[in-house]
Amino acid sequence: MIGGTLSRYFGLRFLNAVLAVFVGAMTLVAMIDFLEMLRRTGDMKDVSALMVAKITGFRLLVVTERIIPFAVLVGARSC
């Protein structure tokens, strides 16, 4: 009985740490990428901020594959 409770506690703690690192890293990457795309497309006439946000969202899907292993590593170290 105590083994299941303890396993669930450590599992949820690990999951929370990994999710916190992942969300933090993705937020940072999204802000930096959005600002970089705004800088690159600043002189184009037909590009709106909404379009830049959509492009940033699509680019985040690619970055997600690279960030997940590091989020697990850092999240596991912080538990």
Task: Give the CA diameter of the chain.
Answer: 65
Q: What's the burial of 52, exposed, middle or buried (CB within 10 Å: 0-12/13-18/19+)?
A: buried
The pLDDT of residue 66? 93
The pLDDT of residue 69? 95
CA distance 72 to 79: 11
The number of residues making up the chain comes to: 79
The pLDDT of residue 42? 86
pLDDT tens-digit map of 47-78: 888 999 999 999 999 999 999 999 999 999 98
Q: What is the pTM (predicted TM-score) of this model?
A: 0.84
Confidence of residue 1 (pLDDT cuts 50, 70, 90): low
